[in-house]
Chain A
Amino acid sequence: MYAALWKVLPGTVWLKIAILTAAALVIVTGLMLFVFPAVNTAISVREVTVTP
């Protein structure tokens, strides 16, 4: 799978590395900002206070 990805990408080795690095940053940022908070809302316990 990673070999196929490497062949599909255009340009020199350094361009490929730059593209992959940028893609990794976008993916990680998306996970941190949107996916993980959404999962947290779905699975975590919300109520820790005592209320009437």
Chain B
Amino acid sequence: MRSFWADATWVDGPVQFNSLRSTALTAIIAGVGEGAKFATIFIPRLGPDSTRVVANSVDTTTTLDRGYFGHYPDTQWPGQPGNFALAVHRTGNGSPFADSPKLQLGDKIYVETSEGYYTYVFRNYEFVQPTAVDVLLHVPGTNSSPEGQNILTITTCNPLLGDAERMIVYSVLESWRPHDAGPPQEMTEGLEGSP
């Protein structure tokens, strides 16, 4: 059922994500300790106040229950070929991902680290069993090489108010800019009080 992951490259298909090929030169954050905060994530579709902390842990008490997005420590970093995988609460603890079912194809997801701004584009949902750890592979659901793939995977609970399943939100890296260059214009435009 997930064979399209293996058969298609990210730039094929009806939806074109430009500048994917330029992402080979992205800067990658390094030396992040277990549990350390290392990024923020901003999803305009979830509201202008949807910026949240990303910490390098998926521990419930120290990370997820604080409303942070938690990075699966064994997965890749923003801009690194492979899969940048996060987990986040959908209900309770600030409900940081409550509106995630409103995402639409092409919606931007901005990740900022000390190295740069990484713009991901929402691609699709998947609904899986809680044991489906293959969503964390370099290319989710396959053993394909991470080369040329820059995927953002976010896991959360499903259905709403339950955790019998997991909802997976997949996005792909569209572009990257160094931190010195400042945030992408489209990231800040339309936001009141933004610099």
Interface on A for B, CB 8 Å cutoff? 40, 43-52
Contact = CB atoms under 8 A, between A and B. Distances in A.
A18 to B, nearest CB: 34
A48 B163 contact: yes
B46 interface: no
- The residue in A44, A45, A48, A52 that gathers the most chain B C-beta atoms within 10 A of its C-beta is A48
The prevalent SS among residues of A at the interface is loop
Contacts of A44: 89, 91-93
Contact of B155 (A45, A46, A50, A52): A50
Interface residues of B, number: 26
A47 to B, nearest CB: 4
A43 B130 contact: no
Contact of A49 (B58, B92, B162): B58
A41 B113 CA distance: 31
A43 B89 CA distance: 13
Nearest to A44: B92
Interface string B155-175: 111000111001000000000
B88 A51 contact: no
A50 B133 contact: yes
A45 B157 contact: yes
B136 A50 contact: yes
A52 B131 contact: yes
B157 to A, nearest CB: 5
A7 to B, nearest CB: 41
7 contacts: A44-B92, A45-B89, A45-B161, A48-B64, A48-B157, A49-B70, A50-B166
B60 interface: yes
B145 to A, nearest CB: 22
- The residue in A40, A49, A51, A52 that gathers the most chain B C-beta atoms within 10 A of its C-beta is A49
